[in-house]
Amino acid sequence: MKRKLTYLLLLLPLLLQAQILTPIRWEAALGARTDSTAEVVLTATIDEGWHLYTQELAEGGPVATQFRYNRPVLGLTTTDAEVHSDYDDNFEMELTYYETKAVFHQLLRAEKADEIAGSVTFMACNDQQCLAPDTWEYTIGESSANAISGTPENADETGSSLSSDESSLLWIFLMGLLGGLLAVFTPCVWPIIPMTVSFFLKRSGAEKGQTTKQGIRDALLYGLAIIIIYVGLGLLITAIFGASALNALSTNAVVNLIFFALLVLFAASFFGAFELTLPASWSSKMDSKASATGGFLSILFMAFTLVIVSFSCTGPIIGTLLVEAAGKSYLAPAIGMLGFAIALALPFSLFAMFPGVLKKLPKSGGWMNRFKVTLAFLELALSLKFLSVADLAYGWHILDREVFISLWIVIFALLGLYLLGLIAFPHDDDSNRRTSVTRLFLAIISLAFAMYMVPGLWGAPLRAISAFAPPMSTQDWVLGQGTSAVSSAAEARFDDMEKGLAYAEAHNMPVFLDFNGYGCVNCRKMEAAVLSKPAVEAHLKNYVIISLIVDDKTKLDAPLTVVENGKERTLKTIGDKWSYIQRSEYGANAQPYYIQLSSTGERLSDSYSYDENVEKFLDWLIY
């Protein structure tokens, strides 16, 4: 675990550094070309001490090298480069990679006038650190016979780039910031502000409200201590569970049921049914430690006091953030916690620097209870997402799309009525009956959102909630399509690989292989934003569609025993089987993951993952 923590601490600064390291440089060239085919030659020049991973890596490891082309491929991407193999203590597995130089060849189906383009997604590592995965793009025109250099995807004029993984980490960081800002206004955190100011006034000797350099320094250290605690928690969770286990966590049905129950419990508490608090002795001990010790240690204890006292309010926010971060990468939990801690620490540091600001703050009271109840409505709505994942995984069919949308309509309509003062809870005072301008606007937004979802009861796509709602396939009735929500290509749609491939061979049709997941948020986004588009559906009608759900908990008729990474393991569920096929056959374990196959099961294309660019998907979807 110590080595994992060291690895993560080394990796974190790389995301924040201003200088962009480029230890691997790519070049693209056109090889032999005929009237109907073209050969692409891709050369990777690797700095000494660095290495490039191969195309096939086991689950839970670093990012394997992936090639994508704008024309249909004929066979696989090959190379004669020497493959090195070594056991990596950080990932705890045998890894294969290239050193110094690697030249890759790929034959494409293309006319002589066709422009050849593509991209390479790769990860560069040495013995001490790994860079974030990057994507390099290139274009080769008709007359391009010599090697040309491509540009990184999304590159700006300075040469820096923002890969999909980096975008994902940025989203997690922003989610953490939002969660931290929400936490500041919760009833458990707000009362700690006067205690914090009093603590730092005593330390700086400024009881009369005068700030000093010592007080400012201590306030900054206090903010730093809060950040250290929360980021340390994120790193610890990653080090204990590992990247692959965190990915499984985000889609595990039992874990999602636990989070559903916890969010409902917290919502009930915020509605006023009961109070959730940690043992008072915990916070008392931390507070006494802070008073008894000196220097940074006392400030650290004060920060721990804040974390413990506020847990009953921050717990559900942090839990939701960690589950969202679980499916991303090794760094995602720490990055999410960094955003959360910065947002939470900033106001406390400012209050500690400038105690006079406290006098201008509104006193806790009715407004805070209304904030707490509003948060309860949102937690109740979010809890249904976790229940939906378990419902889909186990096939209970108690929360199909119509039921889910109906519940959300009711929840957000009730929230709107509460904000208008038409509904009251036990802890609300008489001021709740008076609607302020701010509450009026919030009520309008909530009620309008509830109305927006109404057409979804009859099959409207509702793109705004596609990441949360169950897939369209669970819709029992769609307006204009009778009792089925399946597209017109339903007769060529399968959820079993063997049956789908048999049908494809019998009808001489290509295969669109879709590795999917019930708990996969990005899968729902792709279905709503890309796969449901008329232009895409028109192309998909020419394919046999095979959708394989990797978190399907349906038991296999008989368990399957396989050997993976030199270890024997047993596949017990349908999801286990499809997940193993994705890892062993295609070297990937993330969803969504799309592959085109021939009627005989041969690979026709590189993979396509989450990207809501419809034109880009159509360029890839060529047969």
Helices (H), 437-593: 437-453, 497-507, 521-526, 534-540, 574-586
In a domain, 323, yes or no: yes
What CATH number is given to the structural domain containing 554?
A: 3.40.30.10
State the chain's mean pLDDT as an integer: 75
pLDDT category at 443 given cuts 50, 70, 90 is very high
pLDDT of residue 450: 95
- On whether both 148 and 56 belong to a single domain, the answer is yes
**E strand segments, 110-203:** 116-122, 124-125, 134-140, 151-152
Residue 237 and residue 267 in one domain: yes
Q: Does some domain include residue 261?
A: yes
pLDDT given at position 169 = 72
Say yes or no: 289 and 180 in one domain.
yes
Mean pLDDT of 588-616: 84
Claim to verify: residue 7 and residue 150 sit in the same structural domain: yes
Check residue 10 and give its pLDDT. 39
Q: Is residue 381 one of the residues assigned to a domain?
A: no
In a domain, 51, yes or no: yes
Is 382 part of a structural domain of the chain?
Answer: no
The number of beta carbons lying within 10 Å of the beta carbon of residue 336 is 31
Buried-exposed string 552-588: b where 16+ CB fall within 10 A, e elsewhere = bbeeeeeeeeeeeeeeeeebebbbbbbbbbbbeebbb
Would you place residue 336 in the very low, low, confident or very high pLDDT band (cuts 50, 70, 90)? confident
Residues 405, 456, single domain; the answer is yes
User: Is there a domain that residue 546 lies in?
Assistant: yes
Identify the domain boundary among 457, 485, 513. 485
Residues 523 and 576 in one domain: yes
Strands 493-494 and 544-549, by their bridges, are: parallel
Residue 1 binned pLDDT confidence (cut-offs 50, 70, 90)? very low
Domain total of the chain: 4
Using DSSP, state whether 40 is helix, strand or coil. Answer: strand
Residue 499 gets which letter from DSSP? Answer: H
Q: What is the model's pLDDT at position 225?
A: 82
Confidence check: pLDDT of 152 > 80: no
* 8 A C-beta contact, residue 93 and residue 53: no
Q: Are strands 93-98 and 84-88 parallel, antiparallel or unpaired?
A: antiparallel
Which of these three, 119, 138, 161, is where a domain ends?
161
- 208 SS3 class: coil
Q: What angle, 0 to 180 degrees and rounded to 10, lies between the N-to-C axes of helices 192-204 and 332-353?
A: 60
List C-alpha distances in Å: 283 to 225, 232, 313, 444, 533. 17, 20, 15, 40, 55
pLDDT of 350 higher than 80: no
Please report whether residue 378 resides in a domain: no
* pLDDT score at 2: 41
In DSSP notation, 373-416 reads HHHHHHHHHHHHHHHHHHHHHHT--SS-HHHHHHHHHHHHHHHH
Which band of pLDDT confidence, cut at 50, 70 and 90, is reported for residue 512?
very high
Kindly indicate the confidence band of residue 415, based on its pLDDT and cuts at 50, 70 and 90: very high
Handedness of CA 158, 132, 593, 237 (dihedral sign): negative
Q: Is the Cβ–Cβ distance between 338 and 176 less than 8 Å?
A: yes
Q: With 50 as the cut, is the pLDDT of residue 203 above it? A: yes
**Residue 413 counted as domain residue:** yes
Q: Are 118 and 243 within one domain? A: no
pLDDT beyond 70 at 293: no
Residues 75 and 151 in one domain: yes
What sign for the dihedral angle of Cα 149, 155, 160, 163? negative
Assigned token pair, 165: 């993984």
Looking from the CA of 514 toward its CB, the CA atoms found within 13 Å total 23
Domain boundary among 485, 503, 532: 485
- Specify whether 297 is located in the same domain as 413: no
Q: What is the CATH number of the domain that holds 155?
A: 2.60.40.1250
Question: What are the angstrom distances between the C-alpha of 457 and each of 144, 448, 480?
Answer: 54, 16, 13
578 within 8 A of 552, measured Cβ to Cβ: yes
pLDDT single digits (tens) 56-90 = 887 667 788 989 888 888 778 888 888 888 887 66
Looking at the structure, tell me whether residues 480 and 499 fall in a common domain: no
Question: Cα torsion at 419, 420, 425, 431 (round to 10°)?
Answer: 100
Q: Which residue has the higher pLDDT, 49 or 404?
A: 404
The reply to whether 307 and 456 lie within a common domain is no
- Same structural domain, 470 and 518: no
Domain, as residue range, for 295: 166-361
Q: Which of these ranges, 3-12, 22-31, 285-294, has the smallest mean pLDDT?
A: 3-12
pLDDT at 406 over 90: yes
